[in-house]
A = this chain, B = another copy of it.
């Protein structure tokens, strides 16, 4: 069987391979699937970079409405082709076709594309700022080079490099995308790229608006994110891979946005456990086991004060984790990583309450795993218990008193999300007031009475946080239009003649609908004549 083609410079063509081709694995059987995919060489990337640089200049001059049309069309086509997409993704990822892939992730992906289209069409995301007296005007503009998107394994649609959130945000901001598929789901990515690319061409966008390769050598990845022709990189994945890419990109002065996950702690204050220990145990298990625990926002730690409520909570949690039906993990690397992470925590002093072992073949599964540790132990080596265990595994941290619980909050590393459950009483309120400010500066998203999994794609969402959850605390990778600002440069026009200005910075509002900050006020009106 011949290898699948790559998409470079507007053409599907055979890759210039750097080594042996690869096949994706079926996580349920552990067996390779049929299609063969090439490992691209630097030659492929070099051609893609040259084409992407040209497309960047063309897209920067392209009316945003045309980009929006392309994104909308791509969204509609994805929906039309959902049967094939769900089939491919289910086969490559073992994620359930229903409800996860068809009824949840694909609609989310389609919705993101429409939202990105709406933001591009609207234009208000550019933070158009006009000083009419001094004739100085500024806005966010495309970066000037293609955005490299390195997608993760765990969301074959919604975070896919060729159709997911980063793709949508980068293109809506006016940048071409150079997508690297995750090698765990290359066929899904090929299908997505084919559908999206066709839609973009139909809308009249430049040929290299989307380019896609399946896999590259890791050294080529380091060169890619450091190449002066790129605009920026968006990466979602593990901390280890993220840190290598970060070092390479930053040494070359290239922007890189990393979503490297976190422990996403859940703090259960005594009143909440008194009121509903069993329900909370179920809630924790449900959140922890969603997608077989392969969510960036999976709660990896639950902290509480030891008392009768927490004893009841722990007992119910043990039951839930023991009774759970372990899901399929995305691949052998995830399985090995989970096994190693659980092993490290046990070696560091955690006690196993449930699970802890890989299931026998076929396929990649691990028992739903619950660990436990006294807070005093956690506080001795907090870093040892905060490396991500990707899969259904979480650790209970039991504090002797409220001071110790506060100390646990203080020892939490930068993370994506942090939840606090509290009861109605004044005791919990007092404790909330001590813990919330600590978690607030450590997490991009703070939740009350709610588990951290499940991200609404709305303008106020923040999927980011302080290092090492992400590479920069000022941005989010989910939520539009905010996520688009990662792929934009802030640029001023000083004394630039009216006829040389971009349309949206001229005195007349292009459509009377776009929000602009004119002389210190947000307005949709044109700048009045002087």
* B437→A131 contact, CB < 8 A: no
* B134→A456 contact, CB < 8 A: yes
**A133-175 vs B: 1/0 string, CB under 8 Å?**
0101110110110000000000000000000000000000000
* A140 and B474 alpha carbons, distance in the complex (Å): 8
* B495→A461 contact, CB < 8 A: no
**A217-249 vs B: 1/0 string, CB under 8 Å?**
000000000000000000000000000001100
Provide the residues of chain B in CB contact with A450, threshold 8 Å. Answer: 494-495
Provide the residues of chain B in CB contact with A456, threshold 8 Å. Answer: 131, 134, 136
* B445→A57 contact, CB < 8 A: no
Among A98-106, A176-184, A484-492, the stretch that binds chain B is: A484-492
The answer, yes or no, to whether A436 is at the interface (CB within 8 Å) is yes
* B444→A491 contact, CB < 8 A: yes
The answer, yes or no, to whether A275 is at the interface (CB within 8 Å) is no
* B460→A130 contact, CB < 8 A: yes
Provide the residues of chain B in CB contact with A458, threshold 8 Å. Answer: 131, 134, 136
Among A279-287, A316-324, A361-369, A464-472, the stretch that binds chain B is: A464-472
* A190 and B523 alpha carbons, distance in the complex (Å): 43
Among A39-47, A331-339, A370-378, A514-522, the stretch that binds chain B is: A514-522
Give residues of chain A (437-470) contacting chain B, Cβ–Cβ below 8 Å.
Answer: 437, 440-450, 456, 458-462, 464-468
The answer, yes or no, to whether A112 is at the interface (CB within 8 Å) is no
Given A474-B485, A489-B473; A57-B448 close (CB under 8 Å): no
Q: Which of B57, B253, B491 is close to A446, meaning CB atoms less than 8 Å apart? A: B491
Least CB distance, A362 to chain B, in whole angstroms: 39
Beta-carbon nearest neighbor of A515 in chain B: B522
Provide the residues of chain B in CB contact with A473, threshold 8 Å. Answer: 143, 255, 489-490
* A500→B246 contact, CB < 8 A: no
* A485 and B450 alpha carbons, distance in the complex (Å): 29
Provide the residues of chain B in CB contact with A474, threshold 8 Å. Answer: 140, 255, 485-486, 488-490
The answer, yes or no, to whether A432 is at the interface (CB within 8 Å) is yes
* A138 and B493 alpha carbons, distance in the complex (Å): 30
The answer, yes or no, to whether A202 is at the interface (CB within 8 Å) is no
Q: Which of B144, B495, B520 is close to A449, meaning CB atoms less than 8 Å apart? A: B495
This chain's copy number in the assembly: 2
* A474 and B462 alpha carbons, distance in the complex (Å): 18
The answer, yes or no, to whether A65 is at the interface (CB within 8 Å) is no
Beta-carbon nearest neighbor of A522 in chain B: B522
* A475 and B522 alpha carbons, distance in the complex (Å): 20
Beta-carbon nearest neighbor of A473 in chain B: B489
Least CB distance, A420 to chain B, in whole angstroms: 9
Least CB distance, A248 to chain B, in whole angstroms: 11
Provide the residues of chain B in CB contact with A137, threshold 8 Å. Answer: 460
Provide the residues of chain B in CB contact with A140, threshold 8 Å. Answer: 474
* A466→B144 contact, CB < 8 A: yes
The answer, yes or no, to whether A311 is at the interface (CB within 8 Å) is no
The answer, yes or no, to whether A476 is at the interface (CB within 8 Å) is yes
The answer, yes or no, to whether A79 is at the interface (CB within 8 Å) is no
* A495→B143 contact, CB < 8 A: no
Provide the residues of chain B in CB contact with A414, threshold 8 Å. Answer: 253
Provide the residues of chain B in CB contact with A131, threshold 8 Å. Answer: 456, 458-460
The answer, yes or no, to whether A60 is at the interface (CB within 8 Å) is yes
Provide the residues of chain B in CB contact with A20, threshold 8 Å. Answer: none
The answer, yes or no, to whether A497 is at the interface (CB within 8 Å) is yes
**A403-447 vs B: 1/0 string, CB under 8 Å?**
000000000001001000000000000001000110011111111
Provide the residues of chain B in CB contact with A464, threshold 8 Å. Answer: 490
* A448→B136 contact, CB < 8 A: no
Beta-carbon nearest neighbor of A524 in chain B: B522
Given A136-B460, A250-B250, A458-B134; A445-B522 close (CB under 8 Å): no
Beyond A445-B494, A460-B492, 20 additional contacts (C-beta under 8 Å) are: A61-B437, A129-B459, A130-B460, A136-B456, A141-B441, A247-B250, A253-B468, A254-B467, A440-B491, A444-B489, A446-B492, A450-B494, A450-B495, A459-B517, A465-B489, A466-B489, A473-B490, A474-B485, A474-B489, A522-B522
A sample of 9 inter-chain contacts (CB < 8 A) reads: A129-B460, A138-B462, A254-B467, A417-B494, A444-B490, A445-B493, A450-B494, A465-B489, A474-B490
